[in-house]
């Protein structure tokens, strides 16, 4: 019978005298921690004051984009809602009337656009599916709020404040 | 007689305040040193360099809800932490933390009581510390707590023997068992310090002290990965803080033991303060700080060992105690006795 412990871990019989009295190894280890304590720099990020640099492809909270003239890009095509594996997007589409045409270039617009952040898994499928480059998962990661229903966010939170050129997905 | 009582009360008050502050700041030191060893920063929000953290911790402990779980043995459940803290403070009666000063023509020893069997008293009281742990673990009515308590008591019994035997070697060498007399025997030069006269004895004593205070690598009584928190699993709030304080005071006590018994108490190597023309009182005050510095050094070593070495397995712990330390300490004792007898 093979002694598994001896085969893979080595047995205590094969340890040399210096190994068996433990002390040299202990002093070596103690020296390592002392060296860390005295000479190594801490790697802590002091969070609220200091923030770590996040990757360009980071997927945080969603943002609904506007175009160069400040109009909403979303045309309520439901592509994001269909592809969403967690079904966390709820859209109510409505036809664009002449009065609000200055804000909505297409024929349809999303009257209600809600995302349930409890269900969202931040997979990024919605930004891949969007034909109008309207929805992106941006670098917002401070999502704490003080009540449960604030986790279902609507257009008042989602829509970007300013417009800009079409963002290219990296 | 009246004066003596007043002096004793003053000494006690100062001592209590100092011990609790020291224990609180040992927790901060532990967290800070651990953090720096792990390349972190540690507590740094409460006050500069986290200096008010122990205060914040204390306030938190006091204002937490006192939870007594159902089916516990109520009296013993409360007695456990009380016993722990009481017993951890008691050895200090015999530990000299300085030489002597003269106030109003009266010599005051920097020691609560100068017992002529001081070292024996310290060791016998410090081994009572396990009763708090056993009571706490037993009364909690929890498997893990009981396991922790049983382990602690087995460990205490195994390591008490090498501890006592390495002490016996010192008793033979210095021919006395009073703590103050042991210091006075090694005060002449650092080569008379017991750490150089008894290096093997010191290693055995230090290892046994680690086991006695339930510190890593011998913290089998509370080892988090197997027993949640061992004997204090069911404790919270103030009762837990008593256990915590008891543990840290035990560490300081053990460090003071070693400073007194092995590092020559208040002797400063190669400096004779009486030759420098200082007044006797100043020397007395300096001696307190020397003992404190040596104690602080050992507290640091305790923390340093904790954040370096992994925990022993239980059978390894028993092997080390019975198969290595006990025979070694007997050999050490016999050699010392032979040298004292024949040389």
Helix (H, G, I), strand (E, B) or coil at A109: strand
Residue B89's alpha-carbon distances to B98, B133, B191, B227, in angstroms, are 18, 15, 31, 27
Most confident residue range from B96-100, B255-259, B273-277, B329-333: B329-333
The pTM of the full predicted model, rounded to 2 decimals, is 0.80
Which positions in chain A touch B199 (Cβ < 8 Å)? none
Give the pLDDT score at A14.
Answer: 66
Domain that holds residue B215: 65-342
Q: For A124-138, B32-46, B229-243, B292-306, which range has the lowest pLDDT when averaged over its residues?
A: B229-243
Residue B30 inside a domain? The answer is no
Residue A45 inside a domain? The answer is no
Of B39, B307, B308, the CB nearest to A42: B39
Of A33, A40, A46, the CB nearest to B307: A33
Distance from CA of A7 to the nearest CA of B (A): 20
Give the pLDDT score at B229.
Answer: 76
Domain that holds residue A118: 62-158
Q: For A2-11, A119-128, B26-35, B141-150, which range has the lowest pLDDT when averaged over its residues?
A: A2-11
Contact (Cβ atoms closer than 8 angstroms) between residue B149 and residue B233? no
Residue B326 inside a domain? The answer is yes
Residue B33 inside a domain? The answer is no
Choose, out of A23, A33, A46, the residue to mutate when testing the contact with B (most B CBs < 10 Å): A33
* Residue A83's CATH number: 3.30.70.3270
Q: Which residues contact A59 (CB under 8 A, 6 or more apart)?
A: A122, A123, A124, A137
Residue A46 inside a domain? The answer is no
Give the pLDDT score at B1.
Answer: 63
Which positions in chain B touch A30 (Cβ < 8 Å)? 304-305, 308
Query: What is the mean predicted confidence (pLDDT) over B28-39?
Result: 89
Residue A57 inside a domain? The answer is no
Give the pLDDT score at B142.
Answer: 82
B200 touches chain A (CB under 8 A): no
The ipTM value here is 0.72
- What are B321-326's contacts with CB under 8 Å, separation 24+? B321/B155, B321/B158, B321/B159, B321/B161, B321/B162, B321/B211, B322/B158, B325/B159, B325/B162, B325/B204, B325/B207, B325/B208, B326/B161, B326/B162, B326/B165
Same domain, A108 and A152: yes
Distance from CA of B27 to the nearest CA of A (A): 17
Residue A167 inside a domain? The answer is no
CB atoms within 10 A of CB B82: 15
pLDDT tens digits, B188-232: 777 778 888 888 888 899 988 888 888 878 888 777 777 777 777
Query: How far is it, in rounded angstroms, from Cα A36 to Cα A84?
Result: 47
Distance from CA of A108 to the nearest CA of B (A): 52
Provide φ and ψ at B72, rounded to 5°: -95, 160
Helices (H), A15-169: 17-20, 23-39, 79-83, 125-129, 155-158
Residue B227 inside a domain? The answer is yes
Same domain, A110 and A26: no
CB pairs under 8 A between A and B: 35
With an 8 Å Cβ cutoff, are B308 and A32 in contact?
Answer: yes
Distance from CA of A17 to the nearest CA of B (A): 13
* Preceding omega of B268 cis (within 30 degrees of 0): no
Q: Average pLDDT per run of 10 along chain A, which is 170 residues long?
A: 61 68 84 87 86 86 86 88 91 88 85 90 90 87 88 87 70
Same domain, A32 and A99: no
Query: What is the mean predicted confidence (pLDDT) over B27-34?
Result: 89
Is residue A129 left, alpha or beta, with left meaning phi > 0 and alpha meaning psi from -120 to 50?
A: alpha
Residue B27 inside a domain? The answer is no
Q: How many structural domains does chain A have?
A: 2
Residue A13 inside a domain? The answer is yes
State the number of CA atoms in the 13 A half-sphere of B311 facing the CB: 15
Give the pLDDT score at A1.
Answer: 55
With an 8 Å Cβ cutoff, are B36 and A26 in contact?
Answer: no
Query: How far is it, in rounded angstroms, from Cα B25 to Cα A38?
Result: 20
Residues of A with CB under 8 A from a CB of B: 23, 26, 29-30, 32-34, 36-37, 40-44, 46
Helix (H, G, I), strand (E, B) or coil at B157: helix
Residue B247 inside a domain? The answer is yes
Same domain, A25 and A72: no
Query: How far is it, in rounded angstroms, from Cα A51 to Cα A45?
Result: 7
Minimum CA–CA partner of B35 in chain A: A37
Query: How far is it, in rounded angstroms, from Cα B10 to Cα B17?
Result: 11
Q: How many structural domains does chain B have?
A: 1
Contact (Cβ atoms closer than 8 angstroms) between residue B135 and residue B79? yes
Q: Is A86 exposed, middle or buried (0-12, 13-18, 19+ CB in 10 A)?
A: middle
């Amino acid at each position: 019978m093979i002694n598994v412990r001896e085969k893979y871990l080595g047995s205590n019989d094969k340890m040399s005298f210096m190994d068996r009295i433990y002390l040299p190894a202990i002093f070596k280890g103690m020296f390592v921690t002392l060296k860390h304590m005295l000479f190594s720099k801490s790697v802590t990020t002091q969070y609220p004051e200091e923030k770590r640099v996040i990757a360009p492809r980071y997927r945080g909270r969603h943002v609904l984009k506007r175009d160069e003239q400040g109009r909403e890009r979303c045309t309520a095509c439901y592509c994001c809602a269909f592809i969403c594996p967690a079904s966390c997007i709820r859209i109510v589409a409505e036809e664009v009337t002449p009065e609000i045409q200055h804000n909505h270039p297409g024929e349809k617009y999303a009257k209600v656009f809600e995302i349930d952040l409890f269900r969202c898994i931040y997979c990024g499928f919605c930004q891949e599916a969007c034909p109008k480059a309207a929805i992106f998962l941006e670098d917002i990661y401070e999502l704490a709020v003080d009540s449960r229903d604030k986790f279902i966010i609507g257009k008042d939170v989602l829509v970007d404040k300013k417009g800009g050129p079409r963002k290219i997905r990296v | 007689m009246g004066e003596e009582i007043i002096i004793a009360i003053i000494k006690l008050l100062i001592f209590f305040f100092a011990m609790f502050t020291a224990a609180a700041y040992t927790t901060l030191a532990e967290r800070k040193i651990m953090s720096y060893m792990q390349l972190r920063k540690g507590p740094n929000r409460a006050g500069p360099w986290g200096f008010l953290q122990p205060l914040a911790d204390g306030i938190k402990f006091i204002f937490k809800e006192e939870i007594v779980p159902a089916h516990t043995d109520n009296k013993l459940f409360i007695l456990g932490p009380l016993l722990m803290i009481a017993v951890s403070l008691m050895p200090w009666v015999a530990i000299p933390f300085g030489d002597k000063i003269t106030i109003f023509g009266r010599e005051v020893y920097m020691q609560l009581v100068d017992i002529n069997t001081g070292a024996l008293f310290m060791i016998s009281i410090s081994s009572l510390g396990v009763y708090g742990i056993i009571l706490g673990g037993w009364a909690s009515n929890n498997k893990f707590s009981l396991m922790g308590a049983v382990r602690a008591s087995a460990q205490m019994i195994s390591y008490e023997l090498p501890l006592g035997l390495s002490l016996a070697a010192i008793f033979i060498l210095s021919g006395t068992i009073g703590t103050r007399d042991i210091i006075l025997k090694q005060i002449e030069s650092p080569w008379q310090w017991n750490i150089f006269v008894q290096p093997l004895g010191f290693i055995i004593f230090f290892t046994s002290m680690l086991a006695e205070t339930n510190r890593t690598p011998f913290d089998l009584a509370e080892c988090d990965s197997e027993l949640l928190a061992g004997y204090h699993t069911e404790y919270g709030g103030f009762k837990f803080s008593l256990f915590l304080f008891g543990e840290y005071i035990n560490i300081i006590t053990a460090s003071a033991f070693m400073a007194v018994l092995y590092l020559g108490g208040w002797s400063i190597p190669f400096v004779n303060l009486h030759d420098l023309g200082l007044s006797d009182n100043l020397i007395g005050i300096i001696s307190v700080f020397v003992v404190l510095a040596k104690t602080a050094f050992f507290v640091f070593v305790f923390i340093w060992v904790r954040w370096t070495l992994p925990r022993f397995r239980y059978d390894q712990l028993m092997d080390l105690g019975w198969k290595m330390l006990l025979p070694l300490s007997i050999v050490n004792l016999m050699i010392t006795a032979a040298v004292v007898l024949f040389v």
